[in-house]
Amino acid sequence: MIKSALQIARASYIPKKPAVLEKNVTPQEGEATTAVADQEEIQKLFPKTYGRPIIKFVESDQSESCPATNVGVILSGGQAPGGHNVIAGIFDGIKRINKESRLYGFILGPAGLVNHEYKELTSDIIDEYRNTGGFDIIGSGRTKLDTTEQFDKGLEILKKLDIKALVIIGGDDSNTNASVLAEYYKSIGSDVQVIGCPKTIDGDLKNELIEASFGFDTACKVYSEVIGNIQRDCNSSRKYWHFIKLMGRSASHIALECALQTQPNICIISEEIEAKGQSLEDIVNDIATTVAKRAAQGDDFGTVLIPEGLIEFIPAMKDLIAELNDFLAHNQIEFDAIRRSMRREYIIHKLSEKNSKIYASLPQTVANQLTLDRDPHGNVQVSLIETEKLLSEMVKKKLQDWKKQGKYIGKFAAIHHFFGYEGRCAAPSNFDADYCYSLGYTASLLVAAGKTGYMASVRNTTKPATEWIAGGIPITMMLNMERRHGEMKPVIQKALVDLEGAPFKEFAKNRERWAMETSYIYPGPIQFFGPDEVKEQPTITLKLEQKAK
């Protein structure tokens, strides 16, 4: 692989990790735990793994020498910066415990386990990928691991390679699957352990004990850099309104963090729209009002940040999408057989009267985008819905009406952007490089401690890495029952933006000023070298959340 000078310099970076992980450790167990909601149902579904204690690794005077342990690893779902360092952490961890241990990577996500496609990850390979972005060391995929046939097929290859534990690096859905798999292997008397790792740029896999999902830090910094560049361009030419959609699926954490980093004129937070029961018309009205007010002070330019999941949070649209999800879950084959040009009419006739009217009122492109294939977990692929264009078109129309009524005097020219894929494979920030390596290393310790159904956890993350706390959280603790594919299923509860939380409050306190004053911040690129205040800063979200604890 040919490397740039920066890549070469970055390869030699030694990730920082909790000081305790430099020593011999032992797992210290806390109290028994319960699920976050629907406890009885979850306990019934997970009789073997429910209620396990939280684990913290503490120094021990015993050496950790263990028999050689083969471990398998899967990268699941969307890419997130730092995945390679999780794998490097697992590798170094299992090798420290016993040099004869081996690490196998399953190719292209969970499908690799089922299809028996794997490669051994040796030190030469691992060294090529340390501190790099991407998931290309073994690839990733979105195959949902949820049938006993898949689990049994997986077990065949795990036995063949003498793999004692499987580490699944994924988001909420993949970690849900990890807990189902852990329960299944226990229930059939297999001693294969399953450990999860919290990954997703979306930032929505977090709770009291999982402070952040990896990748959020780097992705937000990349998007903020580019938003800052756009704002500087915008403030230089003073003639465009930039409508910027940001990835994040359902949750608006990315949009919120980028707003805190860059101070745009407008940032929509889906969770607030839902809480206020706002309609599409209300959102358009609010944006157009700010555009008109800025025009009145001579500023025909600005920036609008839009979370990609917005459409699902507008109450009327949410009902429509829920009905569409159920309908398509049961009638996908019939739907696929309908000619493309007739699909809109077909759907209009199948929906309830209320939803049919809303669906019929949507522009053709958005109506089509709402019926595109769901992902294997039953989610609408919100990244494919062009909300930024929908909103700017509607704002334009509103402003034209206001112009006729003499209520608006400006010029409105919109430019659209969607930032998502640009940040998912970026080289990890120091925070993500350290956090990921520590998560992987911790996962290896959970394996050595014989744990299953646990997610690796690294806490105290706003302090220097040496003070971070490594441990494990039982995944059943994070589960609740939700409707998926038309059925109630146990799933990890998504952490959406908390409107009472410190990050949102900080945004809400400032947004009116940001709307009218042009007080943009230009964060610039991620720094790997230099003073700590530029290279060692976690996200504003994490800092505010931890400070408020």
Residue closer to ligand FBP (CB basis): 80 or 255: 80
Q: CB of 494: closest distance to ligand FBP in angstroms? A: 10
Nearest residue to 30 via CA among 54, 9, 51, 13: 54
Q: Which residues, other chains included, contact 253 with Cβ-Cβ below 8 Å and sequence gap of 6+?
A: 202, 203, 204, 216, 497, 541
Span from 16-24, 75-83, 466-474, 485-493 in contact with ligand FBP (CB under 6 A): 75-83
* Spatial distance between the Cα atoms of 451 and 445, rounded to a whole number of angstroms: 9
Candidate ranges 76-84, 324-332, 362-370, 407-415; the one touching ligand FBP (CB under 6 A): 76-84
Q: Which of 126, 138, 163, 382 binds ligand FBP (CB under 6 A)?
A: 382
CB 302 within 8 A of CB 243: no
Q: Alpha helix locations (H) across 298-405?
A: 315-337, 343-350, 353-361, 364-370, 387-404
Q: Does the protein bind ligand FBP through residue 77 (CB under 6 A)?
A: yes
Q: Count of H helices and E strands in the chain? A: 21, 15
Select 211 or 299, whichever has its Cβ closest to ligand FBP: 211
Nearest distance from C-beta of residue 106 to ligand FBP, angstroms: 16
Closest contact distance (angstroms) between CB of 196 and ligand FBP is: 13
Q: In what order do the strands lie in the sheet with 103-106?
A: 25-29, 55-59, 469-474, 454-459, 193-198, 163-170, 70-75, 103-106, 118-120
Phi and psi at residue 322, to the nearest 5°: -60, -40
Per DSSP, the residues of 99-128 read TT--EEEETTTHHHHHTT-EEE--HHHHHH
Closest approach, Cβ 268 to ligand FBP, in A, equals 16
Paired tokens of 47: 């009789």
17 binds ligand FBP (CB under 6 A): no
In terms of C-beta density within 10 A (0-12 exposed, 13-18 middle, 19 or more buried), how is residue 48 classed? middle
The whole-angstrom distance between residue 472's C-alpha and the CA centroid of its chain comes to 20
Least distance from ligand FBP to the Cβ atom of residue 376, Å: 10
Contact with ligand FBP (CB under 6 A) among 21, 114, 178, 201? 201
Q: Which two tokens stand for residue 144?
A: 């949902």
In this complex, which beta carbon is closest to ligand FBP, that of residue 202 or of residue 299?
Answer: 202
Choices 5-13, 67-75, 195-203, 534-542; region in contact with ligand FBP by CB under 6 A:
195-203
Judged by beta carbon, residue 299 or residue 386, the one nearer ligand FBP is: 386
Q: Is 202 a catalytic residue?
A: yes
78 binds ligand FBP (CB under 6 A): yes
Closest CA to 108 of 95, 98, 121, 119: 119
Q: Which is nearer to ligand FBP, 29 or 375 (CB)?
A: 375
Among 200, 218, 262, 462, binds ligand FBP (CB under 6 A): 200
Determine how β-strand 479-484 pairs with β-strand 70-75. unpaired
229-288 residues in contact with ligand FBP (CB under 6 A) are 247-249
H/E element, 58: strand 55-59
Compute the least distance from the CB of residue 108 to ligand FBP, in Å: 13
Q: What angle do CA 460, 465, 471 make, to 5 degrees?
A: 55
Non-local CB neighbours of 245 within 8 Å, separated by 6+ positions? 306, 307, 308, 386, 387, 388, 416, 417, 418, 419, 420
Q: Which two tokens stand for residue 317?
A: 């649209």
Spell out, one character per residue from 129 to 148, where the chain touches ligand FBP: x when CB under 6 A holds, - when not.
-------------x------
**Nearer Cβ to ligand FBP, position 28 or 383?**
383
User: CB-wise, 164 or 245, nearer to ligand FBP?
Assistant: 245
Output the smallest distance, CB 218 to ligand FBP, in A: 13
**Residues 186, 88: Cα–Cα separation, whole Å:** 28
Given 383, 460, 537, 546, the residue binding ligand FBP (CB under 6 A)? 383
Catalytic residue among 172, 202, 299, 432: 202
Sketch the per residue contact string, 412 through 441, with ligand FBP: x for CB under 6 A, - otherwise: --------x---x-----------------
Task: Tell me which residues in 164-183 interact with ligand FBP (CB under 6 A).
Answer: 171
* Shortest Å, Cβ 419 to ligand FBP: 11
* Minimum distance of ligand FBP from residue 421's CB (angstroms): 7
Size of residue set near ligand FBP by CB under 6 A: 16
Q: How far apart are CA 104 and CA 70, in angstroms?
A: 8
What's the CA gap between 336 and 492, in Å, rounded? 31
Stretch that binds ligand FBP, among 46-54, 64-72, 199-207, 491-499 (CB under 6 A): 199-207
- Please state, in angstroms and rounded to a whole number, the distance separating the CA atoms of residues 474 and 284: 43
Give catalytic residue positions.
Answer: 202
Q: Contact positions toward ligand FBP, by CB under 6 A?
A: 77-78, 80, 142, 171, 200-202, 247-249, 308, 382-383, 420, 424
